[in-house]
Structure 1
Amino acid sequence: MTDISTGARGGRAIVIGGGLTGMLAAWALSEVMDEVTVLERDREPTGPDFRPGVPQGRHAHAFMEGGQRALEELLPGIIDELVEAGATRTKLPAELLWLDYAGWNDRGTAIRGSAGSFLTCTRPMLDWIVRARVLKSPRISIRHGITVSALLCSQDAVRGVVAQEKGGEPEELTAPLVVDASGRGSNAPRWLRELGYPEPKEELIDSGMAYASRLLHRTPESEKESFNVVMIQPVLSTPRFGLLIPVEDNRWLVALGGLRGYEPPTESDEWTQFAKELRSPMIHKMIENAEPATNVFGFRNTQNRRRYYEKLSRRPDGFLVLGDAACTFNPVYGQGMSVACFEGLALRKLLARHGAGKGMTRKAQKMVARTIRNPWTMATSEDRRYPTTVGGGRPNALERMLDWYVKRVSAEALVNPVAGKAFFSVVMLLEPPTHLFRPGVVLAALRRRGASVTVPEPVLAGAQTDDDSPGIASGNR
């Protein structure tokens, strides 16, 4: 038995999972614990490489403005480090070409309604930089290539885990505080059941979305454009979507997807052809002459899944579940990494107030529930609109009315700076959804000036004539 349970400052903790959630949790814990040991199943990386333990790692990732602020508060200077390494901050909505269900955004008008930015880079680069910063702490260590198989518990309190390195024997690692940040594949429900505790209630809402992504080298012509990101949303008549974002090393990461029954191919030529079948050919025009940097990789596990650990009638003290292990969101909406930052920041504040003693993890699990409530509502409300969705039930009369209203706000946000700022503040996780019901936003939505405004189809800089306006975009209303 390896004892990692005592320490002069405040004991020691085990964090299961060395991804973003786990590293930020370890950082928060290190401020009150003597030692924090991170247990990571994947081998030790030698650089910013794709990891098997991050199944969505080859696909698009974005830090919403709210998530950036939380990450910066946890790790001061980290955003500058990411930008210096090649990450891009895209001002919203001025540097975004966005085809909403109602049409394209008028970026000229919307500039006055700016709501911060989102930051894009590949997931391996992000993890590499955050990991390097966190491991500078002398109180944090990490073991690679080790898998946790069970919790250790006595007298309704956690006392550690059973873990095993590849090719080795199982060993007991003892600690009075264990955090499960192992992601979508978490075995926490089974561990609790094996100890005689109830499993958490689980809610699953699955739209059946699937997407396929690849990295491409940016074309020289793209340097002339005044936008960074292209986003094309699906509608029922054309249930396909696309996203183009800039990442480090002068590359694009392009994701093409569809609802259930309209899944994208992963063969190269067919994937490029799929881009032609979106509601606008904009992404296809940009990538048709771009040199691929990787193969195409598919992803279908886009379900929203929430496990209600905070509602357990019985649970062992000292056990906390964070990140995707507690709640996964449809990755299409780009909320997961920001939520991980919110949880890490909230955990640090909770530890500063209450320490890591008895009862802390119950408080922290309720804190997690509060943190994920708004992102969960936003993601699942959007997914429940689609007829392909399984789970969650069909929207009731009140939910349909709210959906009608949010659609009006979304459409008005394309051309109205008041509605635009409010809408993007919510999307960027700066404000709760109730922000959309402020008087000025309600008035803009009910007047619906945007219904009479048609914004023209985007014209790429290299294809403009003297009569074209740069960076203006349009679509079908």
Structure 2
Amino acid sequence: MLDVRYGTREFRRRPGDLDGDLIVVVAPTPGKPRGGVALAMEDDRWIVTLVGYGQAPDPSLDGFATFAADLPAPDLHQLVTAAQPIGELQVYRNPAGIRRRYEQLTRFPEGLLVTGDAVCAFNPRYGQGMTVAALEALELLKPDLRPLPFFKRIAKVVDGPWQITVDDDVRLHHATNAVNPKKRLLNAYLERFHTAAARDPELALRFQRVANLYASPSSLITPGSLARVLHNGAPPALVPAAESVPGGGSERSTRLQRWVPGM
């Protein structure tokens, strides 16, 4: 049982908000199971979503701001208390992530297939459901569309992102009894990785590539990543200000993500 609860509001976007950045993500941590995201939209708007495990923002504007004030980083609270609200709060609740193992069946009706959330409904906090559904749709282009071979192919698509979300949800819920020693060691490394990413924009971008399914989770434990983690994995800290790193021949802001340990 996850009991993930969301509240979303739109706000008027002004020049200079968030120092000109277009997205800020504050992730829940085991000690503070609340987070949120602000995304710049067309027509000079922000869409701001606040999320909590077993807790959601109060419908009032003051309640929304109070919830934001209790996040692990201050950016979203500063934004929602300064910006002009547009419209009303929209609330959503997701009780659990669900995966149905169609690939383990021995029979299935011919002429029918199942895909998308009907196969795997992710915790929506991770923003992976639509991407996975699109990757599953690519499997419809393969010559063999018999149900069981199709389900086996899309199971491989689901495996990686499902493991990412499950591992993080287990970590946030302190379910140590469900984690073997190997997994505890990996979780300890990832905690240090997130701490290092607060100082190292390259590590932050590597994690984002994995979280958004551009890269394999194994890319977080390459020799290069390990070296950067060991070098930068000091006690937790927030990125103090906008920084820039080379990317595709141009400079890009690394305050794209106000990184907090534990994401």
Letter matched to residue 409 of structure 1 = F
Give the corresponding residue for 1:238: 32
Q: CA deviation at 1:456?
A: 5.5
Q: 1:450 aligns with which of 213, 229, 233?
A: 233
| 2:2 alignment partner, one of 178, 192, 207 | 207
With normalisation by structure 1, the TM-score equals: 0.48
Residue 329 of structure 1 deviates from its aligned partner by: 0.6
Within the alignment, does 1:252 sit opposite 2:39 as a pair?
A: no
Check if 1:433 corresponds to 2:228: no
**1:270, CA displacement in angstroms?**
1.2
Selected match of 1:423 from 207, 215, 220: 207
Describe the superposition over 1:287-315 as per-residue Cα deviations: whole angstroms up to 9, x where unpaired: 22322222111111152100001111221
CA contact (8 A) 1:416 1:450 kept: no
1:409 equivalent in structure 2:
193
CA drift at 1:418: 5.1
Equivalent position amino acid for 1:285 in 2: Q
Select which of 398, 401, 406 maps to 2:182. 398
User: How far did residue 405 of structure 1 move?
Assistant: 1.5
1:336 is the counterpart of 2:122 = no
Partner of 1:380: 166
**How many angstroms apart in 1 are the aligned matches of 2:5 and 2:11?**
20
CA distance in 2, matches of 1:310, 1:474: 37
Distance 1:251 1:320, change over 3 A: same
Q: 1:213 to 1:334 in 2, by over 3 A?
A: same
When you count helix as a share of all residues, which structure comes out higher? 2
User: How many Å apart are 1:442 and its aligned residue?
Assistant: 2.3
Structure 1 residue 259: Cα displacement: 1.8
CA contact (8 A) 1:457 1:474 kept: no
User: Hey, what does 1:281 align to over in structure 2?
Assistant: 74
Q: Contact 1:425–1:431 at 8 Å: present in 2 too? A: yes
Q: The residue matched to 1:215 in structure 2 has which SS?
A: strand
Contact persistence 2:105–2:148 (CA under 8 A): no
Alpha-carbon distance between aligned partners in 2 of 1:253 and 1:417, rounded to the nearest angstrom = 25
Q: Please give the root-mean-square deviation of Cα atoms over the aligned residues, in Å.
A: 2.8
Q: Given the alignment, which residue of 364, 371, 377 partners 2:150?
A: 364
CA contact (8 A) 2:6 2:50 kept: yes
Q: Does the 8 A contact of 2:26 with 2:260 survive in 1?
A: no
- In 1, Cα distance between the equivalents of 2:104 and 2:155? 10
Identity level (%): 30
> 1: CA distance between counterparts of 2:179 and 2:261?
26
Given that residues 207 and 384 in structure 1 are in contact (C-alpha distance below 8 angstroms), is that contact kept between their aligned partners in structure 2? no
Deviations 1:178-219 (A, max 9, x none): xxxxxxxxxxxxxxxxxxxxxxxxxxxx33221211122213
- Alpha-carbon displacement from aligned partner over 1:144-199 (angstroms, at most 9, x marks no partner): xxxxxxxxxxxxxxxxxxxxxxxxxxxxxxxxxxxxxxxxxxxxxxxxxxxxxxxx
Q: How does 1:185-196 map to 2 (within 5 A)?
A: none
Aligned to 2:248: none
Q: Which runs of 5 or more residues in structure 2 are unaligned?
A: 243-252
- One-letter code aligned to 1:270: G
Cα separation, 2, equivalents of 1:474 and 1:434: 21
* Residues in 1 aligned to 2:66 and 2:180: alpha-carbon distance in whole angstroms: 38
Judged with a 3 Å threshold, the aligned counterparts in structure 2 of structure 1 residues 458 and 302 are, in CA distance, closer, same or farther, namely farther
- Deviation string, structure 1 residues 55-112 (Cα, Å, up to 9, x no partner): xxxxxxxxxxxxxxxxxxxxxxxxxxxxxxxxxxxxxxxxxxxxxxxxxxxxxxxxxx
Residues 401, 237 of structure 1: CA spacing in aligned structure 2 closer, same or farther, 3 A cutoff?
same
Structure 1 307/393 Cα, relative in aligned 2: closer, same or farther at 3 Å? farther
Equivalent residue letter for 1:449? N
Aligned pairs for 1:32-43 (under 5 A) are none
Q: Matched residues in 2 for 1:331 and 1:314: separation?
A: 31
Indicate conservation of the 8 Å contact 1:242/1:255, yes or no.
Answer: yes
Alignment of structure 1 residues 38-117 onto 2, 5 Å: none
For 1:423, give the aligned amino acid.
F
In 1, Cα distance between the equivalents of 2:220 and 2:168? Answer: 15
Structure 1 residues 388 and 207, CA gap change in structure 2 (3 angstroms): farther
1:249 counterpart SS class = coil
TM score, norm. by length of structure 2:
0.83
1:340 offset after TM fit, Å? 1.4
The residue type paired with residue 401 of structure 1 is L
Q: Which runs of 5+ in 1 are unaligned?
A: 1-205, 460-469
Deviation of residue 226 (structure 1)?
A: 3.1
Q: Name the aligned partner's letter for residue 257 of structure 1.
A: V
CA distance in 2: counterparts of 1:333 and 1:365, whole angstroms? 23
Larger Rg over CA atoms: 1
Q: How many residues align?
A: 250
Say if 1:274 and 1:236 are closer, same or farther in 2 by CA, change over 3 A. Answer: same
| Post-superposition CA distance 1:243-276 (Å, at most 9, x none) | 111123221111112222x332223321222212
CA distance in 2, matches of 1:279, 1:421: 20
Q: Using the alignment, how far apart are the partners of 1:402 and 1:471 within structure 2?
A: 26
User: For residue 464 of structure 1, what is the aligned residue in structure 2?
Assistant: none
Distance 1:335 1:420 in 2: 18
Contact 2:139 2:153 in 1 (8 A): yes
The question of whether the paired residues in 2 share the 8 Å contact of 1:240 and 1:259 is answered with yes
